[in-house]
Amino acid sequence: MAPSTFTAALLRLWIVARAVRPGREDIQQLLETEVAPADVLSTGEASTWLFDPEPGLREMAPPEAGAVLLEGESANYPHCEGLPRNGSHVIDVALILSSSCTWHAHPGLQVTLKEPLTFQGNLVLMGEIQIIGEQERDGPCINVRGRMTVTAARASFVGCRNRLKEGKGGALFIEHDIITDNSDVKFESCAAKQGGGLYAKGGYHQDAGSSVLFQNCSADRDGGGAHLGQNFTPGPNTSAIFRSCWAGEYGGGLHAKGGYQQEAGSSVLFEHCSAMLDGGGAHVKNDFTQGPKSSAIFRGGLFADGGYQQEAGSSVMFEHCSADRGALDGRGSRGCA
C-alpha cells in the first residue's frame, strides 16, 4: 500500500471473516454449570517455547531474567509467598495472596492449576513460566486485583477454561492494566464467557521487544482471544498474533472498548479468526491507528467504530474476507471493501 495519511471521522469499517471456528457447543458446556466455591487456603499453607513469530513479522532475542522493572513499578516487591520458583508443581487449592508481589520464575518452571490463584495487589511476573489449566474451574487461572506487569519473561497460559456463566477471562482477569516489557506471552486453548484468553478492565500495553500470541482461544460473547476495557497499544518493534480464535458475538480475536494504537515498527496478524456478529479478527470501539512503518494483516476482518488512521510507511492487507451484514456503515454487503 502506498504511504498515505487519512482520517475518517465516525468511520465504521466492518469486515467479518468466514473461517473454521471451534464448535459453539464446546464453549457452552463450559458455561452451563456453576458449582460451590472451592476451599481457599492462605499462601502459608500451600506447598507442594513459545511460538516462532510469523515469518516476516519480527525476530526477537530471548529476554534476560532480572532486567530492570518498568518505571513506576516497585523493585522491592517480595517474592510471592508459597509459589514455586522452579521445577514442576500442581496447585490443587484456591490461593489468595493479599499483597503486591513478584513471581520470579527460573527456566523450566511449570505450574498446573486445578483451582484459581488470586492476587489482591499488583503482580510482577519475571523469568520463564508455563501455567497449565488442568480442568475447568470457577474463574480464570489467575485473578489480579491490581495491575499486572510481565518483564524480561517468557510466560505461557495453556488450557485455562473459566466455566462460570458470566466468567471473565480464561487465563487472566486483571482489574487494571497489563504491561509487558521485553517479554513473550502466549495464550493457547483458553475459554471464557468474555475474553477467552485475557480479560482486562484496563488496557494492554506492549513495551519495546515484546510479543503476544493468542491461539485457539474462544469466548461465548466478546473477545475470543482478549477483551479489553481500554486500548491495545503495541509499542515500537513489538508483535501481536491472533490465530484461530472465535467469539459468539464481537471480536473473534480481539474486542477492545478503546482503540488499537500501533506504534512505529510494530506488527499485528489476525489469522483464521471469526465472530458470529461484528469483527471476525478485531472489534474496536474507537480508532484503529497505525504508526510509521507499522504493518497489519487481516486474514479475517476488522470492525472499527471510530476512525482509521495510517501514517507514512505503514501498510495493511486484507485477505479472504467477507461480510454478511456490513461494510463501511455497518449495513449492506461489501466484503473487504
User: pLDDT band at 7, cuts 50/70/90?
Assistant: very low
d(CA 303, CA 225): 16
Residue 57 lies in a domain: no
Would you say residue 148 has pLDDT above 60? yes
User: pLDDT band at 309, cuts 50/70/90?
Assistant: confident
Nearest Cα residue to 319 out of 267, 273, 275, 260: 273
Residue 39 lies in a domain: yes
Would you say residue 58 has pLDDT above 70? no
Would you say residue 284 has pLDDT above 60? yes
Q: What is the pLDDT of residue 308?
A: 82
**Per-residue burial over 305-334, b = 16 or more CB atoms within 10 Å of its CB, e = otherwise:** bbbbbbbebbebebeebbbeebbeeeeeee
Would you say residue 2 has pLDDT above 50? no
Would you say residue 199 has pLDDT above 50? yes
Per-residue pLDDT tens over the stretch 255-283: 999 999 999 999 999 999 989 888 889 99
| Three-state DSSP state, 44 | helix
Q: What is the pLDDT of residue 304?
A: 87
The residue written with cell numbers 476482518 in the block is 301
Residue 299 lies in a domain: yes
User: pLDDT band at 299, cuts 50/70/90?
Assistant: confident
Residue 270 lies in a domain: yes
Nearest Cα residue to 198 out of 249, 253, 130, 150: 253
Return the minimum-mean-pLDDT range out of 57-66, 130-139, 166-175. 57-66
> Domains in the chain: how many in total?
1
Residue 68 lies in a domain: no
Beta bridge partners of 284: 256, 304
CB 120 within 8 A of CB 145: yes
Would you say residue 16 has pLDDT above 90? no
Residue 122 lies in a domain: yes
From residue 56, give the alpha-carbon distance in Å to each of 108, 118, 265, 316, 336: 28, 38, 12, 14, 23
d(CA 277, CA 241): 21
Tally Cβ neighbours within 10 Å of residue 79.
11
Residue 331 lies in a domain: no
Would you say residue 95 has pLDDT above 90? yes
User: pLDDT band at 324, cuts 50/70/90?
Assistant: low
Amino acid at the residue 177: D
Q: What is the pLDDT of residue 50?
A: 40
Residue 286 lies in a domain: yes
d(CA 316, CA 321): 14
Q: What is the pLDDT of residue 254?
A: 96
Q: How many residues comprise the chain?
A: 337
Write out the residue range of the structural domain in which residue 150 sits. Answer: 13-52+74-318
Would you say residue 11 has pLDDT above 50? no
Distance of CA 241 to the CA centre of its chain: 10
More confident residue, 315 or 59: 315
Q: Which of 93-97, 214-218, 247-251, 320-324 is predicted most confidently?
A: 214-218
Distance of CA 287 to the CA centre of its chain: 19
End-to-end CA distance of the chain: 15
Amino acid at the residue 47: S
Burial-class residue 38 by CB neighbours within 10 Å (0-12, 13-18, 19+): middle
Q: How many CA atoms lie within 13 A of 302 on its CB side?
A: 30
Q: Please give the average per-residue pLDDT across 20-33, as a whole number.
A: 36
Q: What is the pLDDT of residue 318?
A: 84
Q: What is the pLDDT of residue 312?
A: 84
d(CA 97, CA 218): 28
From residue 57, give the alpha-carbon distance in Å to each of 108, 127, 130, 194: 27, 24, 24, 28
| 189 conformational bin, left if phi > 0, alpha if psi -120 to 50, beta if neither | left
Average pLDDT of the chain, as a whole number: 78
Q: What is the pLDDT of residue 278?
A: 86
Q: What is the pLDDT of residue 332?
A: 25
Beta bridge partners of 154: 128, 184
Nearest Cα residue to 132 out of 166, 155, 101, 153: 155
Q: Please give the average per-residue pLDDT across 105-125, as a whole number.
A: 95
